[in-house]
């Protein structure tokens, strides 16, 4: 059993073209109008035969004509009934041809009757027959114009013989009547074309309305599903956040009364709880970042072997602890991807494989597929049941942890991996054999290695330390965080000036405390946020002072301008490395590029 996720499939190829559906609706409309047409024949034909008998006396010719007209009407009624019963089994052109031949035959009967009557010389009878033909021709515009050929077949065969008869007459009055009849016929053929166009337009509008209604319903369903998933997401996240916070609260309440050894153990437990909260927040930020509107990934050539080495080192110890054979097949191939997102996707695949495989091996490799490469992670774990495969990408869905035990993940990994794969244009494929193992694969386009100039900047980043590390202006409105950061920076050898808001920071700068680097939270009290503060400090000092901007908002844009954006929570090692990079002038190894912002100034 396999399931794929990532690329969006196109529309169903089985959907009929607009023209085919439109033609079917027109023929159906014609069939709906046929009872009116046949009913008119059943009324007009006996009336015409009766008036003919009144004027010229009983006639075998008129009686035969009436019988033929009634028999033809019966056949046409049977054809309409057959259409409603068998229309799905026969070709559309068969039904169109049948309706057209029926109209041609009916028009020919009335036309022949008009030819005979106009040659009789009986004025009142001729006037009646002309009125009858004109009425049938005009009335059929609404009934038969669903198909222009069907109406033309009736109108030409019904009016044509009478027009020809008058046109061949020796007197000028009759010829003018022929001209008038021809004008009438051409005019009504034009009316029929306009009626047909109107019907087509109405059908198109109705079909478009139906399509819009379907799309609206689908969009509503997607929005409702998204809302439901977000609600489940937040409820589950709230539970997972409350558990370690509750443990921290209890541990803090008992620290004062605890002995030294127990206090040390409880401090370590607090650290583990903080790590759990930090890990969950990081996963949630990754999910938000991957789904942020306007996200634009930075797709570059990525060397797969370097990604394999990085992920392999991360999971080597865990695999060795379980006596698993974790094997990465070396490769010289490159793919076009976003490095951080690709690494995170592979890290998720390998982490799941190592976590759920009790014995055997985890094999990571790559296979070519056309102009793409497929990264594959094989394991000999328990596998996934076919019924569970569609749900493995749902947020907080954990097959091996239904009780949501702490320390066994949060069920966000595959959800995030799927979103990341969609962003970088990849497709995730999952195959599983219950009791034997699973395969998780990522399909990405092949890329050529970059030029030497792109790989020549892999020098080590110096990390400042010692008493001459530099002067830091730290702007943070949260007092405990500001004090902790001050002590940490001072411990690394920096001279630290602190401020709680932009006004206090500018006062320090105006007093001569020009920093070597500025570290500021993005959201600050007052009208000026952290980004505005950095620009103002640079303007007042006339120097392009390096700056770090710290935020918890995953949708904050990367401002450039030699300003590094750090996402909370920021680890101490990450902060120290970022300070060293900024002070040394080295280009930062950026995390996932942030999506463009609307410039409204909303930040965190």
Banded model confidence at residue 581, pLDDT cuts 50, 70, 90: confident
pLDDT of residue 552: 74
Residues 93, 357: Cα–Cα separation, whole Å: 62
Q: What is the mean pLDDT of residues 471-500?
A: 89
Highest mean pLDDT among 2-6, 63-67, 299-303: 63-67
pLDDT of residue 378: 93
Q: What is the mean pLDDT of residues 562-585?
A: 82
Q: What is the mean pLDDT of residues 172-200?
A: 91
Residue 474 has pLDDT above 60, yes or no: yes
Q: What is the mean pLDDT of residues 94-120?
A: 91
Scored b (16 or more CB within 10 A) or e, 23-54 reads bbbbbbbbbebbeebbebbeebbeebbebbee
Q: What is the pLDDT of residues 505-525, one digit of tens each?
A: 999 999 988 899 999 998 899
- Helices marked H in 452-561 — which ranges? 452-455, 479-491, 502-510, 530-541
Contact 286, 344 (CB under 8 A): yes
pLDDT of residue 485: 86
Nearest CA-CA partner of 311 in 265, 267, 352, 344: 344
Residue 356 has pLDDT above 90, yes or no: no
**Between residues 17 and 562, which one has the greater pLDDT?**
562
pLDDT of residue 427: 86
Nearest CA-CA partner of 8 in 423, 595, 293, 439: 423
Residue 271 has pLDDT above 90, yes or no: no
CATH class given for the domain over 470-584: alpha beta
Same fold, 300-451 and 470-584: no
Tokens in use for 584? Answer: 């040394």
Banded model confidence at residue 344, pLDDT cuts 50, 70, 90: confident
**Average pLDDT of the chain, as a whole number:** 79
Q: What is the pLDDT of residues 14-69, one digit of tens each?
A: 333 345 578 888 898 999 999 999 999 999 999 999 999 988 888 898 899 999 99
pLDDT of residue 460: 43
Contacts of 413 (CB under 8 A, 6+ apart): 283, 348, 351, 352
Q: What is the mean pLDDT of residues 249-254?
A: 64
CATH class given for the domain over 300-451: alpha beta
Banded model confidence at residue 278, pLDDT cuts 50, 70, 90: low
**Between residues 235 and 344, which one has the greater pLDDT?**
344
Contacts of 317 (CB under 8 A, 6+ apart): none
pLDDT of residue 375: 92
Number of Cβ within a 10 Å radius of residue 391? 12
pLDDT of residue 461: 42
pLDDT of residue 286: 56
Q: What is the pLDDT of residues 398-445, one digit of tens each?
A: 554 443 344 444 455 677 777 778 778 888 888 889 888 999 999 999
**Percentage of residues in the chain with pLDDT exceeding 90?**
32
Checking DSSP bridges between strand 437-447 and strand 372-379, what pairing results, if any? antiparallel
Banded model confidence at residue 186, pLDDT cuts 50, 70, 90: very high
Q: Return the domain boundaries, the chain.
A: 18-214, 300-451, 470-584
pLDDT of residue 586: 55
**Between residues 496 and 571, which one has the greater pLDDT?**
496
pLDDT of residue 256: 62
Long-range contacts of 65-69 (CB under 8 A, 24+ apart): 65/109, 65/112, 65/113, 68/109, 69/41, 69/45, 69/106, 69/109, 69/110
Q: Which of 79-88, 114-123, 238-247, 549-558 has the lowest mean pLDDT?
A: 238-247
Residue 304 has pLDDT above 50, yes or no: yes
Residue 72 has pLDDT above 50, yes or no: yes
Q: What is the mean pLDDT of residues 148-173?
A: 91
Residue 320 has pLDDT above 70, yes or no: yes
Residue 157 has pLDDT above 90, yes or no: yes
Banded model confidence at residue 101, pLDDT cuts 50, 70, 90: very high
**DSSP secondary structure letters along 389-442:** GGGTTSTT--TT-TT--TTS--S-HHHHHHHHHHHTT-EEEEEEETTTEEEEEE
pLDDT of residue 235: 54
pLDDT of residue 412: 56
Residue 184 has pLDDT above 80, yes or no: yes
Highest mean pLDDT among 237-246, 395-404, 418-427, 486-495: 486-495
Residues 382, 400: Cα–Cα separation, whole Å: 10
**Between residues 347 and 270, which one has the greater pLDDT?**
347
pLDDT of residue 388: 74
pLDDT of residue 419: 73
Nearest CA-CA partner of 149 in 194, 101, 188, 112: 101
pLDDT of residue 11: 38
Residue 102 has pLDDT above 50, yes or no: yes
pLDDT of residue 443: 92
């Amino acid at each position: 059993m396999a399931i794929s996720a990532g690329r969006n499939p196109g529309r169903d190829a089985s959907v009929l073209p607009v023209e085919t559906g439109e033609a079917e609706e027109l023929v159906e409309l014609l069939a709906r109008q046929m009872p009116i047409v046949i009913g008119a024949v059943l009324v007009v034909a006996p009336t015409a035969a009766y008036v003919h008998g009144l004027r010229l006396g009983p006639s075998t010719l008129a009686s035969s004509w009436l019988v033929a007209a009634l028999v033809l009407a019966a056949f046409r009624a049977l054809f309409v009934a057959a259409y409603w019963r068998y229309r799905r089994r026969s070709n559309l052109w068969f039904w169109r041809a049948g309706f057209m031949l029926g109209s041609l035959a009916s028009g020919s009967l009335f036309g022949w009757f008009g030819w005979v009557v106009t040659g009789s010389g009986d004025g009142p009878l001729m006037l009646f027959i002309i009125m009858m033909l004109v009425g049938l021709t005009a009335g059929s515009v609404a009934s038969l114009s669903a198909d222009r050929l069907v109406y033309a077949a009736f109108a030409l065969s019904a009016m044509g013989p009478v027009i020809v008869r008058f046109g061949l007459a020796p007197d000028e009055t009759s010829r003018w009547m022929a001209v008038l009849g021809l004008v009438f016929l051409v005019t009504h053929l034009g009316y029929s074309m306009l009626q047909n166009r109107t019907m087509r337009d109405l059908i198109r509008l109705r079909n478009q309305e139906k399509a819009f209604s379907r799309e609206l319903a689908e969009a509503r369903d997607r929005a409702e599903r998204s809302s439901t998933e977000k609600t489940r997401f937040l409820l589950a996240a709230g539970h997972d956040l409350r558990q370690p916070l509750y443990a921290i609260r209890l541990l803090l309440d008992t620290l004062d009364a605890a002995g030294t050894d127990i206090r040390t153990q409880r401090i370590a437990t607090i650290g583990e709880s903080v790590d759990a909260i930090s890990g969950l927040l990081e996963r949630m930020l990754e999910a938000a970042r991957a789904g942020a509107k306007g996200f634009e990934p930075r797709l570059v050539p990525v060397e797969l072997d370097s990604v394999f080495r990085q992920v392999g080192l991360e999971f080597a110890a865990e695999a060795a602890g379980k006596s698993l054979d974790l094997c990465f097949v070396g490769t010289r191939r490159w793919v076009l991807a976003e490095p951080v997102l690709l690494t995170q996707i592979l890290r998720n695949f390998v982490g799941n494989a190592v976590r759920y495989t009790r014995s055997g091996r985890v094999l990571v490799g790559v296979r070519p597929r056309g102009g793409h490469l497929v990264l594959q992670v094989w394991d000999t774990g328990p596998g996934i049941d076919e019924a569970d495969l569609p749900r493995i990408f749902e947020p907080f869905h954990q097959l091996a942890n239904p009780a949501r035990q702490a320390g066994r993940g949060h069920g966000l990994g595959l959800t995030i991996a799927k979103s990341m794969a969609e962003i970088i244009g990849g497709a995730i494929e999952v195959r599983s054999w219950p009791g034997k193992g699973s395969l998780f694969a990522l399909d990405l386009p092949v890329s050529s290695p970059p030029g030497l100039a792109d790989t020549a900047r892999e020098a080590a980043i110096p990390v400042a330390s010692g008493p001459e590390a530099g002067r830091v202006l730290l702007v943070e409105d949260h007092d405990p965080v500001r004090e902790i950061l001050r002590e940490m920076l001072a411990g690394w050898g920096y001279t630290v000036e602190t401020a709680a808001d932009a006004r206090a920071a500018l006062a320090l700068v105006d007093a001569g405390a020009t920093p070597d680097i500025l570290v500021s939270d993005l959201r600050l009290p007052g009208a000026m946020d952290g980004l505005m503060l950095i620009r103002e400090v640079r303007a007042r000092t006339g120097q392009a002072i390096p700056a770090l901007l710290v935020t918890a908002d995953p949708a904050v844009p990367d401002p450039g301008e030699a300003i590094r954006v750090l996402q909370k929570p920021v680890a101490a090692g990450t902060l120290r490395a970022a300070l060293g990079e900024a002070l040394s002038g080295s280009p930062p190894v950026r995390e996932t590029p942030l999506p463009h912002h609307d410039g409204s100034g909303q930040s965190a």
